[in-house]
Structure 1
Amino acid sequence: MNTSNAKYAIVVGIDGSGESLRAVRWAAAAARLRHEPLHIVYGFAPLSGFYGAGMPVLQNAYDDLVRAGERVVAEAVGAAREITGEHVRITSEMPNEPAAPLLVERSRNARMIALGSSGTGGFTGMLIGSTTVAVSAHAACPVVVVRGRDAESGPVVVGVDGSPSGERALAMAFEEACRRETPLVAVHVWSDDQFTGFYGSLPLALDWEEIERDEQRLLAERLAGWQEEYPDVKVERVVVRDRPRHQLVEWSGQAQLVVVGSRGRGGFTGLLLGSTSQALIHHAECPVMVVRP
């Protein structure tokens, strides 16, 4: 098994599920597109979820689990190599550590992490795995949740809200659109609550058309510098009065990637994932990149 102490470019977490193999293929395509290394991580903690895990374990049983884990890693490496050919360096590791904290640690030296939308654990009917939620909330680099359809065409869509994580998401979205040679759709959503308060009481008569023009100017200002840096990226601006999660989930039906900040201007202080990013990693119809500040 290959390991590397160098800084990683693209990391993908696996667990033996079909969803994690989809994440491997997405990550391999991203590594090929960037001509960057791919690192496959299997958090191998086979006894951590079992009652009585502190009791002695028969060596033969443990050896069987190790061999099964090695087969999982070999299958993932093979799936990645089918995508990359011999042009991308692929490394792998299978430490005896729980997946979520391991991947968060690897994120400190990674450009991005890719994960499947659900894994081998959890409860039947859950829309997304606990590891995916934990890594999306705590990773030090962007996290791509590979879900929905296999989208190789369509625009990159980004939610623009002016928050610190939203600004970083905008930078990543322009980079992705440029690399993929595809248009970028910048979606800026505003709602009545911004102007009427939580309970919808109107303190004064509001000119909704003027508010919309102000929001369009705000979006133009956010995009101006990035359009100068990426002049070849065609940008479509969308300003709409709605909820961000509604619009972005709808746009995910025609996008190849949706990029969103980990949390926006609303919500409660201390939340690591906002309602919009939560909704997307559960319901989007294409892969979602969650970007922290």
Structure 2
Amino acid sequence: MNGPVVVGVDGSPFALAAVDVAAQEAQLRDAELRVVHAFLWPAMHVPSDSSPLGPPTGALHESIERIVTEALERARSRAAGLHVSHAVIAGETVAVLQAQSRTAQLIVVGHRGSGGLSELLLGSAAVHLSAHSHCPVMITRGRQDPVGPVLVAVDGSPRGQPAIAFAFLEASLRGTDLVALHAWSTWSDHGEHALGRRVDIVDLVGDAEHLRQQEERVLTEALAHHREQYPGVTVRPCLVRGRTRPTLIEASADAQLMVVGSRGHGGFTGLMLGSVSQAALHHAHCPVTVVRSGP
């Protein structure tokens, strides 16, 4: 694991909660914590030779100093001995954090914000950051100080492997179990275009138990390599016949972290930002980490 854990701050209670989580992550990973505040100039003419923060006694300078100082003090109080740095960068928040993700191992943000992070209300901006970040993005939400296992959505596709790897790492670092959930259904929407209706695969195959065994095999094979890498992690495979989104959200009620891929296939056909991943970001009962599958 290389690079810092980066947390975006804006002075809101949600950002401070993100600092708590980010400090824990940095401590678990023995990594630097970088506190980043992004800001935009007010809509007025600013001299080209002026300081990025304005005059030392200016309101913008004082506001930024307060936000950053509060976040730094919070981080240091949560994790003694943690190496904490900070950066104040002029620019649009998502663009700044996306640039930071090039050298970070994890980006942490609150699920709501104010000021510089006001756009991260789990709308298009959060989706954009999760979809385009160069490292995993953890969005803090749900219960305070959640306990329980790490929960990962498994679809059996190559795209889903980075999310599974991240979930195993988190379970190992946190010293907790890993619940690997694979939801499947006999209903397919692919027949709608040809037949004008959804198709129950059982009508075609005639053997629901055979389909269940196939899905069980998908789950087992998706986990095999990672089990070998993390023999100390207790894995609890969970095969559920049902709709993906409600199944995943329900399972998050007992988890301390949910991990999803940015795109999906098979049992999590809709697992791309804007569907299952976005549903998790909006409705999960615990923090959610979105892990990109690659370019």
- After TM superposition, the score normalised by the length of structure 2 is 0.86
Cα deviation digits, residues 59-103 of structure 1 (max 9, x gap): 779921121011100000011001111x21100011111111010
Which position in structure 2 is the counterpart of 1:3? none
Structure 1 residues 116 and 200, CA gap change in structure 2 (3 angstroms): same
Q: Which segments of 5 or more consecutive residues in structure 1 lack a partner in the other structure?
A: 1-6, 48-52
Residue aligned with 1:119, SS? coil
Q: Distance in 1 between matches of 2:126 and 2:204?
A: 44
Residue aligned with 1:43, SS? strand
1:33 to 21, 28, 34: 28
Structure 1 residues 117 and 165, CA gap change in structure 2 (3 angstroms): farther
Structure 1 residues 152 and 285, CA gap change in structure 2 (3 angstroms): closer
Structure 1 residues 239 and 274, CA gap change in structure 2 (3 angstroms): farther
Greater Cα shift, 273-282 or 58-67? 58-67
| Cα shift at 1:46 | 4.1
Structure 1 residues 101 and 238, CA gap change in structure 2 (3 angstroms): same
Which position in structure 2 is the counterpart of 1:111? 105
1:138 to 125, 132, 136: 132
| RMSD of Structure 2 on Structure 1 (CA) | 2.5
Preserved contact between residue 187 and residue 239 of structure 1 (Cα < 8 Å):
yes
Structure 1 residues 196 and 56, CA gap change in structure 2 (3 angstroms): closer
Structure 1 residues 151 and 248, CA gap change in structure 2 (3 angstroms): farther
Structure 1 residues 41 and 170, CA gap change in structure 2 (3 angstroms): same
Which position in structure 2 is the counterpart of 1:283? 283
1:193-232 equivalent positions in 2, closer than 5 A:
193-194=187-188, 197-198=191-192, 199-202=197-200, 204-232=204-232
| Cα shift at 1:136 | 1.1
| Cα shift at 1:8 | 3.4
| Cα shift at 1:192 | 2.6
| Cα shift at 1:55 | 4.0
| Cα shift at 1:118 | 1.0
Structure 1 residues 248 and 9, CA gap change in structure 2 (3 angstroms): same
Structure 1 residues 215 and 61, CA gap change in structure 2 (3 angstroms): same
Q: Distance in 1 between matches of 2:279 and 2:114?
A: 21
Which position in structure 1 is the counterpart of 2:254? 254
Cα deviation digits, residues 107-136 of structure 1 (max 9, x gap): 0111010000011159x9x95255433211
1:1-293 equivalent positions in 2, closer than 5 A:
8-47=3-42, 53-55=43-45, 63-85=58-80, 87-120=81-114, 128=122, 131-194=125-188, 197-198=191-192, 199-202=197-200, 204-265=204-265, 266-267=269-270, 273-293=273-293
Letter in 2 for 1:66: H
Cα deviation digits, residues 269-291 of structure 1 (max 9, x gap): xx962511100111111000100
Structure 1 residues 254 and 272, CA gap change in structure 2 (3 angstroms): closer
Letter in 2 for 1:186: A
| Cα shift at 1:201 | 3.2
Residue aligned with 1:158, SS? strand
Residue aligned with 1:273, SS? coil
| Cα shift at 1:162 | 2.2
| Cα shift at 1:173 | 0.4
Structure 1 residues 93 and 61, CA gap change in structure 2 (3 angstroms): closer
Q: Which segments of 5 or more consecutive residues in structure 2 lack a partner in the other structure?
A: none
Q: Distance in 2 between matches of 1:70 and 1:165?
A: 41
What percentage of residue pairs aligned between the two structures are identical? 43
Q: Which runs of 4+ in 1 moved over 6 A?
A: 57-62
